[in-house]
Amino acid sequence: MKILVTGGAGFIGSNIVDEYIFQGHKVVVVDNLSSGKVSNLNKKAKFYQVDIRDKLGLKKIFQKEKIEVINHHAAQIDVRKSVAEPEFDAEVNIIGTLNLLQLGIKHKIKKFIFASSGGTIYGECKNLPAPKEDDVYKPESPYGCAKLAIEYYLGYYNTIYGLNTAVLRYANVYGPRQDPFGEAGVVAIFANRMLNNEDLYIYGDGEQLRDFVFVKDVVNANVLCLKKDFKKIVVNIGTGEAISVNKLFYEMKKITGYTKKAIYKPARKGELFKSYLNNSLAKKILSWEPKKIFSNGLKDTIKYFKSQM
């Protein structure tokens, strides 16, 4: 198949591109390189440096390429920026996605796979068990609101146009190629600071709970979406395990040999305290489950960051 991967120069998207190509698919990458990197691009993919807000630029790509599947990972991912500039967040995440959907319908694509956000859609996870897909949605940021709005748009396009849609609600994804700067995941930030023997900050008491899922497991979910027949699916992609930031710190400290103590700072406003996901539906529908053991995933990630030094 010929697959368009938006955000294909980014952390998750580039890993997906590599696997799609390895599996024999033809891949077209669209990325404006605002956060993606040229070094992440697979040389066998056809690359267009285009912003998803650029309707004319996207139109030319669809006219030239015979796109069969859209895998949509391009996004404004900074939660804090979404709070400061909600209109910009909506412009990129909502309007950009609608541009793709409209072109997808016009060119009769077979599937639309969307990277959503389990953490921001469900909001604070007050009690176990972890949230399921049909639980109450409580987004607490414009970023989360935008992701949820896109899911509703996908439902509309599925109902009205018969577009086959897959929504993958990711937990906290970590692994090789994650950016340790800006709005980055805590694993990447810790790895970079520990390996450079820099001071490391934990906001709040460190008992915040997160569901860390390895990027290769996320890639596998995206591969399964190609192989499975479906009309509409919405599934959580996480481990279902809640790990504290303090535990993460000590696990990574052991692996890296970091000797400094963490510096604790006041908790950030709006940050979720508990976030983890129930993955039982993904197991049932996609036959997907996480395979990477957490400690091994950390070792692989740290090994990658060492190789970049």
Q: What is the 3-state secondary structure (H, E, C) of 269-286?
A: CCCCCEECCCCHHHHHHH
- Indicate if 153 belongs to the active site: no
Burial class of residue 203 (count of CB atoms within 10 Å of its CB; 0-12, 13-18, 19+): middle
Q: How far apart are the first and last CA of the chain?
A: 37
Active-site annotation holder among 20, 48, 122, 143:
143
Closest by alpha carbon to 130, among 207, 233, 211, 185? 211
- At 232, give phi and psi (nearest 5°): -160, 125
Residue 179: CB atoms within 10 Å: 18
Q: How far apart are CA 243 and CA 77, in angstroms?
A: 22
Q: How far apart are CA 231 and CA 46, in angstroms?
A: 28
Catalytic residues: 143
